[in-house]
Amino acid sequence: MIPALAPPRSVYVHVPFCRHRCGYCDFSLLAGRDDLFERYFLAMACELKRVPLPLALDTLYLGGGTPSHLGPAGLRRLFNLLHGPLVPVGTAEITMEANPSDVTGPLAALAKGFGVTRFSLGAQSLDAATLRSLDRDHSPDDVRQATATLLGAGLSVSVDLLIAAPGQSLAAVEQDLEAVIALGVQHVSVYCLTWEKGTQFDALRAQGILSVADESIERAMFEATIDRLEAAGFEHYEVSNFARPGFRCRHNEAYWDCRPWEAFGPGAARYDGRERITNHRSTTGWMTRVLEGQDFTGDRDAMTPEEAARERVVVGLRRRDGLDREEFRAASGLALDTIAGAAIVAWVADGLATDDGQRVRLTREGLLLSDALWQRVLTGRG
Amino acid sequence: MSIDSAHIRNFSIIAHIDHGKSTLADRLLERTGTVEKRQLKEQMLDDMELERQRGITIKARAVRMGYHYKGELYELNLIDTPGHVDFHYEVSRSLACCEGAVLLVDAFQGVEAQTVANAYAAINQNLTIVPVVNKIDLVHARVDEVLAEMEQSLAIDAAEVVLTSGKTGLGVDELLAAIIERVPAPTGDPNGVLRAMIFDSHYDSYRGAITYVRLVDGTIKRGQKVRFLETGTTHEVLEIGQFVPQRRACEELVAGQVGYLVCNIKDVKQVHIGDTVICPGDTIAAPLPGYKRPQRMVYCGLYPSEGENFEELRDSLEKLSINDPSFDYSPESSEALGFGFRCGFLGLLHMEIIQQRLEKEADLDLVQTAPNVTYQILKTDGTVLEITNPQDVPDSGQIDEFRQPIVRTNFLVPVEHIGPVMQLSTDRRGTYLKTEYLSPTRAMLTFDLPLADVIYDLHDKLKSVTRGYGTMDYELIGYMPADLVRLDILVGGKNVDALSIICDRRDADRRGRSIVKKLRSEIDRHMFEIALQAAIGTKVIARETISAMRKNVTAKCYGGDISRKKKLWAKQKEGKKRMKSIGSVDIPQKAFMAVLDTGVDRA
C-alpha cells in the first residue's frame, strides 16, 4: 500500500550567490554576479507560485551559496517574497547560512526580525593557515566575532568545520576542535574535504600540487572529532553533525526521516514522498526557464515504495540513533528485515552494527565504512 | 551439368597467418568470375564476424569456382583452412578432401613456423604442393632469399614457385594454370559404390544442419536416402549443392566433387565430422579413414557471474557447440564459484573466441577461471586419471607418476635472436633438439617443451624477444612424467578452488609469490584485512596482505545530495560485474587470470 502524500512541512530555499568560489566547491552558485540578484528575485517569486495555498512550516532553511551575501536589502527582499506562500508556525526553526565576515549586529537583528532562529556559519577552520589553504576570505577572528554577535542576539549557531584540508595535520584538526568548542555554539557540522570532480582542488591534485590525505590519517582526524566533541557534550547524531542536547537541526532531520519537503531555487531538490525532483542546476538556466515559463526541472528520481524504503535504510542508518523497526514499518509500510534483514545480520556479525531486536544502529566502525554497505541495501542483493 | 572428374581440381591454400591467404582467395574468386568485383567484400571467405575482426580464419570453408582453361571448363574447389595452430585439426580435415595444396609464403616475411607445419601436413597426406611466393609487389620483397628458404626448409624447387600478388592480381592466371596442370584430378569412380566424407558442418536456423561433403566414389542425387555410417542414421537428401560461395542447389554430386547436403537434421551432433556417407543397405562400402578427433588441449571453468544464469549459460554453450563441435563442456561445481561448466578448447585462441561469442551472442556475464592443460596421473593402484581441473589431483600418496603434455615446438627466427629464444626455452625447461639454418639469416630451432609453458605466453614472449620476427608452431608428442604439484591459493584463509594451479615443483615458490602479489593488486580493499596465501598441501609458501579499508563514508547527504549519492553508492554495482564473492571477499574476473602470471621477468 502506498502511504498517502502528506503536505510538506519543510522548505529549502537556494541562494546561488557567493563573493567568490572556493577551490573545493562544486555547489550550484555564481560568484561575483551580484548584478543577477534582481533577476533571481523575479524568478524566485515566479517559482513560489508552484505553491497554490500557503504552506504551514515547521522548518525553513536558506542555503547556498551564501544567503548572507545578498546583504540586508537583498535579504529583506527575499524574506518578503517568501512571506505569504510560506507560513512558519510559531515554533518553527528558520536557519540561514552565512559567511562569518558578512555577520553584523544589524544583519542579525534584521534576520531575527524575519523569524530566523538559527545561523549556520561557514567557518571551516579557526586556523589562519588552514583558512588560506581553503581559499576562504575570512579570518579566525571574523568567526569569533560573528559567533559572539549571533549568540548575543539570542540566535542559535551552528559552525561548519572542514577537516583533512590540504596539508592539514592531525594536531591542527585537534586545535580547531578546541577552538570551535570554545566558541560556545550549539551545533557543529564537520566535513572531511571531498575532492569533487571539476573543482579547482581536483585539478591541482591531478597536477600533483595538492595531495589527498592518507585514508588512515583522515580516519584518525574523524575519530578525534567524534571523541573530542562528544567529550565536550555534543551528541554525534549523524555522520557529519554534532549538537548540544535539544539543538539538532530539525530541518535536516526532515530529510533523514524521509518526510516530504519543498524546495525552491536553482539545483534545489524537493520530495513529495514518492519522487525527488531537482531543479535545473545552472542558476542562469533555472532563471531563464522559470521566467519564460519553460520546464525548469532537471533530474527526477521516482521511487517505488520499496525503493523509498531502501533509501530510508541508508539515510536512517547514517544517524547514530539508527532505525527503529516499528517506526520504520509505520513510515515505509515495509518491514526493515524484509528490506535489509540479511545485511543487518551480516553487519552485526562483523561488528559493523548492533541490533537489540527493536533498533538497529551502526557501530563507529560501521559508520566510518558505511559507504561500502549501501550497495547491498540499495540493490536489494542479500 | 554432370562433370567428369578429369576436370575437377580440389585444393587448399595453406600459409602462415597474415601471409595473404584470404586476399589471394578473393582474387581467385574474382578471376574465375565466381564473385563479381563489386560484390566482393574484403576477404570473402572469412564470413564470421570474429574472423573479419581479427583477420584470421577459424572455420574451414569450401567454394566451387568454374574456370575455362585451354578451351575447357574446370571445376576448382577451394577448401579454405585456418592458419592458427589452435585449429590444426581443421587444416588436416580440409587437406583430406584435396589432391593439392597451394603453399603460400610472404615475399617479405619468408618461411615461418606455420608454413613449415602446414607444408608437412600436406606432404604427409601425399598432396601435390603448388608453391607460391605472394606479395611480390611489396617494396621490401626479398623474393630470391625467400625462394632459398623454401628450398632449404621444404625442398621446394625454386623453378616451380609461382610469383603472385593478391593485392594487384599479378600472377593469378599463372597460379590457376599451375593448379590445373599440376594438381591431380580426383580418382574416384562416379559409378562406384557411394562414399562421401563429411568434413565440416554448420547450423542454419532454417535448414538445420548443413553437411559439407567430399564425394570419394559414386553419385548422390537429390531425393535419395543416405546413411551416415558411423552414427548409423538414415536421412533423405532434401537438397544438394555447392558453395559458389553462397549455397547453390543442384541435382547431383559425383565422385571428386565437393558440396553440401541438407537432410532436415535438427541436431548437428548427428553429423560427425569425418563420418562416411553411404547408400542405406549398402554393406560393402568401407568407411573412409576419418580424422583424428580434435584434441582439447586447454580447459577452463566458465561460471555465470550471477548464479541464477546457470541455465542460460547451458543453453548458450549448447548452441555454440552445435556450430563448433571441437569444444566441449560438462557441468562442474566449485566451492568458490558455484555451478558452472568445465570447458575444453583446442587452445587459448579458441577459448578466447568462445568466451567472446558467449558474451556477445548470449549477453552473459561470465567469470572464467585461468586455463590449464590436461594432465595425466598414474595412480599407485595402476589406473590412469585424466586431469582437466587442478581440483581433481589426488593426494600425493596416491600418485605414482604425474605426467604433463609435451609439445615439439619449432621456432623460426632471425639468427641474431637465437640466443634469447634459447634462453626463453630453457627457462621453461625445454629440451633442445636441433637448429637448422634456412638461410644465412634465418634458423629453425626445435625444442620439446611442456605445453603448459607454451600456451600461456610463450608466443608473446617470442614476439618480444625477436622484435616481432620470430614465429612458432607446435604439435603434441605425448605425456611425460614431471615433478608436478598442485599450488593452492587461500584468500582470507579460505582455499579458493578456482585459483589452484598445477606447476613444476621447482617453479612453485616463484609462481606462488607472483600470484599472491598479482592478486593483491587485483582485489579491492575490503572492510577487513585479507590474507592472500599460496600453499602446497598445508605448507604456505607465499603471503601478501590487503590492508583493511579505513574510512569510506560520504560527508554530506542532505536533500539535494541524496539522489546523486544514491547513484554513486549503487554505481559500485557496475564495478561488481564479472565479480564473484567468495566468503565475504569480492574477487574480480581479472584476479582469476592472475594465476597465469608466471613470475618470469618480462624479457
Across all residues in chain B, what is the average pLDDT? 85
Residue B83, pLDDT score: 55
| Shortest distance, CA B586 to any CA of chain A (angstroms) | 12
- Beta strands (DSSP E) in B91-217 are 100-106, 128-134, 162-163, 195-204, 208-217
B159 three-state secondary structure: helix
DSSP characters over B84-109: SGGGHHHHHHHHTT-SEEEEEEETTT
Q: Where are the alpha helices (DSSP H) in B363-446?
A: 418-427
- Select the residue of A191, A352, A378 nearest B566 (Cβ to Cβ): A378
**Residue A239 forms contact with B (CB below 8 Å):** yes
Residue A278 contacts B, CB cutoff 8 Å: yes
pLDDT band, residue A41 (cuts 50/70/90): very high
CATH topology of domain A10-256: TIM Barrel (3.20.20)
Q: B584 to chain A: which residues are within 8 Å by CB?
A: 346, 350
Q: Pick the residue from chain B with its C-alpha nearest to A260.
A: B559
- pLDDT tens-place string over residues A109-132: 999 999 999 999 999 999 999 999
Window from A89-98, A324-333, B49-58, B483-492 with minimum mean pLDDT: B49-58
Extract the C-alpha cell encoding A222: 574523524
- Mean pLDDT within B115-125: 85
Q: Is A315 on the interface with B (CB under 8 A)?
A: yes
Give the closest of A240, A268, A314 to B560, CB-based.
A268
CB of B513 within 8 A of CB of B542? yes
A299 — contact with chain B (CB < 8 Å)? yes
Q: Three cell numbers at A255?
A: 530529510
Over residues B173-197, the pLDDT tens digits come to 999 999 999 999 999 888 889 999 8
Q: Which residues of chain A form CATH 3.20.20.70?
A: 10-256
Inter-chain residue contact A269 with B559, CB threshold 8 Å: yes
The answer to whether the Cα torsion of A250, A252, A253, A255 is positive or negative is: positive
Count residue pairs from A and B with Cβ separation < 8 A: 95
pTM above 0.80, yes or no: no
Pairing mode, strands A10-15 and A262-264: parallel
Q: Which of A96-100, B240-244, B384-388, B464-468 has the highest mean pLDDT?
A: A96-100
Quote the ipTM score.
Answer: 0.91
Distance (Å, rounded) from C-alpha A62 to C-alpha A66?
9
Contact B338, B289 (CB under 8 A): no
Which of A326-340, B111-125, B321-335 shows the lowest per-residue confidence on average (mean pLDDT)? B321-335
User: pLDDT higher for B348 or B324?
Assistant: B348
CA B31 to chain CA centroid, Å, is: 31
Nearest CA to B552 out of A106, A239, A182, A26 is that of: A239
By the 8 A CB rule, do A12 and A96 touch? no
Q: In whole angstroms, how far apart are CA B140 and each of A143, B108, B137, B146?
A: 78, 6, 9, 12
Determine the residue of chain B that is closest to A194 in CA distance: B555
Q: Is A371 near chain B, with CB under 8 Å?
A: yes
Contact (CB<8Å) B527/A240: no
- Determine whether the interchain pair B562/A315 forms a contact, defined as Cβ–Cβ distance below 8 Å: yes
Q: Of the given ranges (A106-120, A302-316, B449-463, B540-554), which has the lowest mean pLDDT?
A: B449-463
For the segment B219-225, the average pLDDT, to the nearest whole number, is: 93
* CA atoms of B511 and B530, how far apart (whole Å): 20
* Nearest-neighbour CA in chain A from B562: distance (Å): 8
Angstroms from A106 CA to nearest CA on chain B: 30
Name the residue of chain B whose CA is nearest to A164's CA: B555
Nearest to B549 among A263, A299, A372 (CB): A372
Closest Cα partner for B217 from B192, B235, B200?
B192
Radius of gyration over every alpha carbon of chain A, rounded to an integer in angstroms: 21
CB contact under 8 A, B550 and A278: no
Tell me, yes or no, if A24 comes closer than 8 A to chain B by beta carbon: no
CB contact under 8 A, A352 and B527: yes
Nearest to B304 by CA among B340, B329, B269: B340
| Residue range A305-378 in CATH 1.10.10.920 | yes
Chain B closest-CA separation from residue A371 CA (Å): 5
Residues of B in contact with A370 (CB under 8 A): 552-553
Chain A residue numbers with beta carbons less than 8 Å from the beta carbon of B554 are 194, 239, 371
User: Could you tell me if A354 lies within 8 Å of chain B, comparing CB atoms?
Assistant: no
Which residue type is seen at B101? Answer: A
| Residues B418-445 pLDDT 10s | 999 999 999 888 999 999 998 888 899 9
Angstrom CA distances, A160 to A100, A153, A163, B555, stand at: 11, 20, 10, 12
The residue in chain A having the minimum alpha-carbon distance to the alpha carbon of residue B574 is A375
Closest CA to B198 of B218, B213, B188: B213
Q: Shortest CB distance from B556 goes to which of A191, A261, A379?
A: A191
Any bridge partners for residue A153, and if so which? Answer: none
Candidates A238, A286, A369, partner chain B, best to mutate (most B CBs within 10 A): A369
Radius of gyration of chain B (CA): 27
Q: Which residues are within 8 A (CB) of A240 and not within 5 positions of it... i.e. 6 or more apart?
A: A189, A190, A191, B555, B556
Q: How far is CA A336 from CA A5, A328, A381, B479, in A?
A: 21, 6, 14, 60
Whether residue A153 is predicted with pLDDT greater than 90 in this model: the reply is: yes
Determine, for residues A311 and B569 on separate chains, whether the beta-carbon distance falls below 8 Å.
no
**Distance (Å) of CA A173 to CA A159, A219, B83, B131, B536:** 15, 12, 67, 81, 49
| B489-520 tens-digit pLDDT | 999 998 998 899 999 999 899 999 999 998 99
Distance from CA of B475 to the nearest CA of A (A): 48
CB-CB contact of A193 with B522 (8 Å): no
Q: What's the mean pLDDT in A269-274?
A: 94
Alpha helical stretches, state H, chain A? 37-48, 71-82, 105-113, 128-133, 140-152, 170-182, 200-206, 215-231, 250-256, 283-291, 305-317, 325-332, 336-349, 364-368, 371-379
Q: Is A145's pLDDT higher than 90?
A: yes
- What's the mean pLDDT in A276-282? 94
B6 secondary structure, DSSP code: G
Q: Which of B551, B580, B581 to mutate to test the interface with A (most CBs of A within 10 A)?
A: B551
CB contact under 8 A, B555 and A239: yes
pLDDT digits (tens, 9 = 90+) for A53-80: 899 999 999 998 999 999 999 999 999 9
Mean pLDDT across the stretch B129-147? 94
pLDDT at B148: 92
Residue ranges of chain A assigned to CATH 1.10.10.920: 305-378
B563 contacts A269? CB cut-off 8 A: yes
Nearest beta carbon to residue A368 from set B553, B559, B569: B553
DSSP code for A126: S
Helix (H) or strand (E) holding B464: helix B458-465
Residue B473 · residue B116 · CB < 8 Å: yes
Contacts of B562 in chain A (CB under 8 A): 255, 269, 276, 311, 315
Determine, for residues A276 and B562 on separate chains, whether the beta-carbon distance falls below 8 Å. Answer: yes
pLDDT tens digits, one per residue of A199-240: 999 999 988 889 888 888 999 999 999 999 999 999 999 999
> How far, in Å, CA of A82 to CA of A197, rounded?
34
Chain B partners within 8 Å of A222 (Cβ): 551
For the stretch B392-423, pLDDT in tens is 999 889 999 999 999 999 998 999 999 999 99
The residue to which cell 610469383 is assigned: B163
What are φ and ψ of residue A237, in 5° steps?
A: -110, -10
Q: What are phi and psi of A215, to 5 degrees?
A: -55, -35
With a cut of 50, say whether residue B603 has pLDDT above it.
Answer: no
The grid coordinates listed for B328 are: 566441449
pLDDT of residue B84: 60
Q: B70-98 pLDDT, tens per residue?
A: 999 999 999 876 656 566 666 667 778 89
